[in-house]
Amino acid sequence: MTKIKEELERAYKSIEDRIPFIPEIALVLGSGLGEYAEDPEFHIEAEIPYGEIEGFPVSTVSGHDGRFVFGTVGEKKVVCMKGRVHYYEGYPVTQVVLPIRLMRRMGAQVLLLTNAAGGVNPSFKPGDFVCITDHISSFVPSPLIGPNEDDFGVRFPDMSQVYSKRLRLVLEHCAEKCKIDVKEGVYVQLSGPNYETPAEIRMVAKLGADLVGMSTVIEAMAARHMGMEICGISLVTNMACGVITGAKLSHEEVKETAAVAKERFTMLVTSFITNITIGD
Ligand code: HPA
């Protein structure tokens, strides 16, 4: 057994008795979006702080609580990551994706990744939701480097459709029903924790990125390796450095925009979760 699988099994065994159901959907809540797990639509059944899981990384960032919250939304069983850990916190990428692998181990088939992102595409504006159509991973290490765990997936996994077309259509339908404008775009993950320079943003724009952030991509790669079906939603909390205004960026701005978008986010995510069918 590979070290990665050993770590995963150890983490799983340490909380197995506290998992209330086999989740159908795994949901990762991004910066400032963690309150979704406290919404009345989310009927909480159990909570497990990351600190109580063996070998688990614990987030150190303000605005990032660290716990799994299990609950139902409509008829759907959901495990939700309230807070994620980031590569910039100093954890190796394999540790960063351990929570994703654990949710897969619990049985989740669909993964909804959400994040706060900087808008690179000048047609975006703060407060916009963007459905992720593809990503650029080239600036962060792959979480699949090292001995391959064949029980998780193949050595050379296909990444031609990381973000499921089927789920994108469901999201589009829900956005229409909720009268929420959802755009589409390519997300690039940079390491952080510093925000980018204007020159770096010009570079990622030339490479085809519409959104920039410090998470999501390595999680999507680990999930795709394990055969999960993925949907990604970014909330544009600010325009990326040097796009449109010369204003300085701060984590406060990111959290403020997320707070304003909270209601629309809740509506969209609830509609998405209730409308998807699992296992088609
Ligand atoms: N850059 C990187 N990550 C981010 C940004 C940004 O502008 N906004 C929110 N997360």
More confident: 119 or 279: 119
Contact residues of ligand 1, CB 6 A cut-off? 116-118, 195-196, 212-214, 237-238, 240, 249, 254
pTM of the prediction? 0.94
**Burial class for 209, CB neighbours closer than 10 Å (0-12, 13-18, 19+):** buried
pLDDT at 160 over 80: yes
Question: Is residue 37 among the annotated active site residues?
Answer: no
The answer to whether position 186 is within a domain reads yes
Average pLDDT over residues 176-181: 94
Q: Two tokens at 121?
A: 């595409």
Half-sphere exposure of 68 (CA within 13 A, CB side): 29
Count how many domains the chain has.
1
**Burial class for 90, CB neighbours closer than 10 Å (0-12, 13-18, 19+):** exposed
Angstrom distance (rounded) from CA 226 to CA 133: 19
Contact present, 258 and 31 (Cβ < 8 Å): yes
pLDDT at 57: 78
Residue tagged active-site, from 59, 115, 121, 238: 238
Ligand 1 centre distance from Cα of residue 133 (Å): 18
Cα separations in angstroms, 65 against 165, 205, 226: 31, 31, 26
pLDDT at 56: 85
pLDDT at 32: 76
pLDDT at 31: 79
The answer to whether position 18 is within a domain reads yes
Residue tagged active-site, from 37, 103, 106, 214: 214
pLDDT at 114 over 90: yes
Q: For ligand 1, atom 3, name the residue with the nearest CA.
A: 213
Angstrom distance (rounded) from CA 85 to CA 193: 12
pLDDT at 65: 62
Share of the chain above pLDDT 70, in %: 96
Residue tagged active-site, from 64, 137, 149, 187: 64
Average pLDDT over residues 117-141: 96
Q: Which atom of ligand 1 is nearest to the CA of 249?
A: 7
Contact present, 113 and 230 (Cβ < 8 Å): yes
Angstrom distance (rounded) from CA 231 to CA 4: 25
pLDDT tens string 224-259: 999 999 999 999 999 998 887 667 777 887 788 877
The answer to whether position 153 is within a domain reads no
The answer to whether position 212 is within a domain reads yes
Task: Concatenate the DSSP letters of all residues of 147-194 into one string.
Answer: S--TTT--SS---TTSB-HHHHHHHHHHHHHHT--EEEEEEEE---SS
Q: Which atom of ligand 1 is nearest to the CA of 213?
A: 3
CATH of the domain at 226: 3.40.50.1580
The answer to whether position 280 is within a domain reads no
pLDDT tens string 52-89: 999 887 766 655 568 999 999 999 999 999 988 899 99
Question: Please, what's the b/e burial string for 257-271 (b: 16 or more CB within 10 A of its CB; e: otherwise)?
Answer: bbeebeebbbbbbbb
pLDDT at 263: 87
* Residue 280 binned pLDDT confidence (cut-offs 50, 70, 90): low
Identify the domain containing residue 116 by its residue range: 3-147+160-275
